[in-house]
Amino acid sequence: MSKRFLIPFLALVVVVAASGTAAIAGAKIKINDDSEIDFGFRLQTLFNSTKADIDSTDGETRLETDNNFLIRRARLRVGATIGTKFAIFLQTEFNEEASVNALGGDVRLIDAFVTYKPTKYFNVIVGENMAPATRQNMTSSGALLAIDRPSMANKTLTWGLRGKHDFTISTTPQSGASLPGDETRTGIFGKVGVRDLGVTLFGNPDVGDAAHLKYYVGVYDGINAQGSDTMRMTGRVQLNLWDAESGYYNLATYLGKKKTLAFGLSYDTQSEVARVAQEVGFTTFDYKLTEVDVFLDYPIGDNAITAEAAWEKMDLDGFAPSAEGDGFYIQAGYLVKKLQPWVKYETWSSDATSVGGNTAGDYNLTSLGLSYFFHGHNANLKLGYEMFKADYALDVTGEDKVNSFVIGFFTTY
């Protein structure tokens, strides 16, 4: 995005926000009785310190440290309702990679879609949007529990099909599939599209006084091997007991504002995502991902407990064994007034063949931290420590452990 567009847009948001009412939805301008424009922003800026134990060729262990200030997410958004049944949404994003920190990053358009919403039971969303492949894919980045999403969230199709560590800042070597067209590149964040272009049917009906359903069914462009033109199909169903998690996106913690227990099931698939030449011609490979998840947010007096767990399996028909496999994560936090200590554990077992007792793509990850909420999800400070262990050497020096520390300021309106 050019500075000619960005600077006037930012100025407009600042002016509107100064005259609007502070709310999580952002600042609003009323057009008429049933139409309005909504402006908002998100900024997550952090300091990251990474240390890796490297076994050198002379048998000594040396310590490598990498310290960086980063812009993890910087977003401007504009939405509008047009009458009672139509809405549009546009959102830009900027992130700064540590490897090119001195050069800055790029601003790009990541969301652009129209929603037709005749009832809460049936919405049609058309354009560039988030495909409902897992619960974490459908969790707002403005309300995450453990600094960032679990690594497994990046195993979905347009997220790169790869493992992540260092609070999802760094891509884990040998953990991806490098599919043609997925735009994965070297670097801290990579160049994966994340969103997908297509149509989603979404509904949020109540099925009882204390039972609420969310369903998603979508068809998208996805990623195709050269010479193929198939469609990606994604579906998700979620049942909430007690309070509903209304809206397209979920939160990773409701800070005691909801009492809800959710069960979710997702399935994501596309045929012919890869094509490899064989002696007898070409062989194509299909992508399939299944996830089962559970989420709890439960107030206890003035405090609250949050817990989430999921199991996920990703299959590429044997195209990339070190990327394929299955795993699970569990994360939990306990809110005490404005403080929320949290912990997360995650493990992934790849389909690669073990060599000398080591398997490429396998990892274990444990992180713990503390969040302080100045104004809920609108303004908070988070710090975390992560211990990542791969079951194989991450590079030629034999590195297999990476420990990371992050402290960051997170805002969203």
pLDDT tens, position by position, 22-40: 345 678 888 888 899 999 9
Label the pairing between strands 164-165 and 170-171.
antiparallel
Are 213 and 265 within 8 A, CB to CB? no
Gap between the Cα atoms of 224 and 229, Å rounded: 6
What is the model's pTM? 0.89
pLDDT tens, position by position, 341-368: 999 999 999 999 998 889 999 999 999 9
pLDDT tens, position by position, 127-141: 999 999 999 999 999
Gap between the Cα atoms of 212 and 395, Å rounded: 48
% pLDDT > 90, the chain: 70
For residue 103, the model assigns a pLDDT of 53
- Least Cα distance to 188 among 166, 162, 215 occurs for 166
Look at the chain and count its residues: 413
Residue labelled with tokens 């975390």? 384
% pLDDT > 70, the chain: 85
Gap between the Cα atoms of 213 and 119, Å rounded: 14
For residue 14, the model assigns a pLDDT of 42
Question: pLDDT band at residue 180, thresholds of 50, 70 and 90?
Answer: low
Label the pairing between strands 339-350 and 363-373.
antiparallel
Q: Over 50: is that where the pLDDT of 195 sits?
A: yes
For residue 89, the model assigns a pLDDT of 96
Residues with Cβ within 8 Å of residue 209, at least 6 apart in sequence: none
Q: Which of 30-39, 74-83, 88-97, 315-324 has the lowest mean pLDDT?
A: 88-97
Residue labelled with tokens 């404005």? 338
For residue 15, the model assigns a pLDDT of 39
Residue 318 dihedral angles phi and psi, to the nearest 5° = 85, 10
pLDDT tens, position by position, 279-335: 677 899 999 999 999 999 999 999 999 999 999 999 999 999 999 999 999 999 999
Gap between the Cα atoms of 370 and 342, Å rounded: 6
44-58, 258-272, 279-293, 350-364 — which one is most confidently predicted on average?
258-272
Work out the end-to-end distance of the chain between its first and last CA atoms, rounded to an integer number of angstroms: 22
